[in-house]
Structures are given as structure tokens and as C-alpha cells.
Copies of this chain bind each other. A is one copy, B any other.
Amino acid sequence: MSSLQPMSEQELTDVVIERFASTPDDRLREVMQALVRHVHAFAREVRLTDDEWLTGIQFLTAAGHITDGNRQEFILLSDTLGLSSMVDLINHASMVEGVTEPTILGPFYVPNSPEREFGASMIEYADGGEESLVEGCVTSPDGTPIAGAVIDVWQNAATGFYAVQQPDVQPATNLRGIYRTDVQGRYSIHTVRPTPYPIPDDGPVGKMLSATGRHQMRAAHIHVKVSAPGFAPVTTHVFDEASDYLDSDTVFGVKGSLISAFTPGDDGLLHCAVDFTLEPTH
């Protein structure tokens, strides 16, 4: 470092990587050294200017300042750059045939939703949405029903917002709930049809999407986490087959196997049949 000769770019990268060589934890060392190598490679490839570097610092600062207990701009950034879906693919791609595919968690999950009875409604606020029954079975890959499986559900109202985004408008537990399967592995959720909605666009991620000519819309979906003792839990979505944006979901969350139809029934409700298949952990 104290040579009078100016350092080359490769020498600088090597010096920084070497500086992490004493990291006690092998995995942390591997991750940090790779992070440095890729961050440096990005800057070198695009010949990042001083002003662009400062724009990046200001972007991260703005993301930090808009993030609070109910708003997570860094997850939104990860989602819109496809990183969240990549992490999902890396960790959950090697699945048993027929097991329900996962997709991203998103920034709106709230733990400890109320327990709701089989078939009970989680509509606590009249928003004009089309009332629907989402029903089906939770099974193991060989078709055996799983009784007592937990289905933790959350979705947006027809207005486009999740309850957590509108604390002064929607009841805090509107359109979220914890359901359990019956002895035959069946579940039944009374809700509204989900609608496409824009991700929060009043922060730096919204500005990034605008500046890059991208829309802010997610395809209509219901979030579910399905779990049962002895099985690997899955965090996934139920997408509406009739939704716009299935081919351009702004957070890259759509998988073909997760798309289902909402069809009118004789009871005046829409019906959506979705089975979930969990992978045994043993």
C-alpha cells in the first residue's frame, strides 16, 4: 500500500480481498470476499463515475430513511432487482416432483394473524371486492391428506392496499388469517378476489422503476405460508389466472404452477380451487 507507484485496479481489488483473509468464520469470509470481487467488478466494468457513486449513496440513504416497522424499502429493492426471486430459486429449486413451488415473501407479511374457522370470512372491511372461496387440500406428494396443516394467509384489499399500509382505514387484521386443515386435509378461506396493485412508489425504488421505464404493478395474488409438523413449510402465492401483469410482475414472483382460476359458483361467490403439496422433512 505504501509503494510510491500508483496501484492498479486489479491490485486494489486483490488488497481488499486479502484484508478479509483473517475472517474467523469460513462462510463469512467466502461471502465477503465474493461480495468485494463482484462489487469491484461492477464498478470497473461500467466505469462508475464519482457522481454515479454519490447517487448510489443517496439512493441507499433514502431507502434507509423511508424504511420503518411497516415499510421495507430494501426488500422492495431486492424484489424489483430480481434478487429475492434468485435467492428463492437458489434455495428452493431442488424439490420433489409435485411439491408446491415457493415464491417471494414480499414486504407486507405481518405475523400473528387471527385464527379463523374452516370457511370463515377474513373480510373485515367492505371494499367492493368480489367475494370468493379459496378451497382445496393440503397433502403429501403421494396424495395423503395432512390434517391440522396451518395456512397463514394475507392479501391486499380491492383498493390495492394491505391492511398494514392503511392503519387508519382498514382494520389491522383485514384480509389476513390463520386457517387449519380438517381431518381430511381440507381448508376453506372466505375472502375477496385479489387485484393487481402497485408496489409503494413514493420512495427511491418507485423512482428507480419510473426512471427505467418499468411499471410498478404486481399481478393479482394471495399470499400463503403453508406448514405442518414433519413437512418443509412453503411460502408462496395463489395468482389469479385472469390478472393483468402475469407476464411482467414487477417483482418477478410469478411461476406458472401457482396460477389458478376464479370461477363463478351457484352460491354467488367466486370459487378458486388450490391444493398445496408439502415435502416431508424425514
Contacts and interface: CB of A to CB of B under 8 A. Distances in A.
Interface string A114-145: 00000000000000000000000000000000
Contacts of A60: 60, 63-64, 74
Contact of A61 (B40, B67, B257): B67
Interface string A4-33: 111111001101100110111100111110
Tallying the copies of this chain within the complex gives 2
A42 to B, nearest CB: 4
A20 to B, nearest CB: 5
A42 B46 contact: no
B101 A43 contact: no
A3 interface: yes
Nearest to A254: B1
B40 A86 contact: yes
Per DSSP, are chain A's interface residues mostly helix, strand or loop, or mixed? helix
A22 B52 CA distance: 20
Contacts of A78: 53, 57
A248 B254 CA distance: 47
B43 A86 contact: yes
A75 interface: yes
A35 B8 CA distance: 22
Q: When A and B form their complex, which 9 residue pairs have the shortest distance between CB atoms, in order from nearest?
A: A64-B64, A16-B82, A22-B213, A4-B256, A38-B42, A23-B212, A53-B87, A60-B74, A3-B256
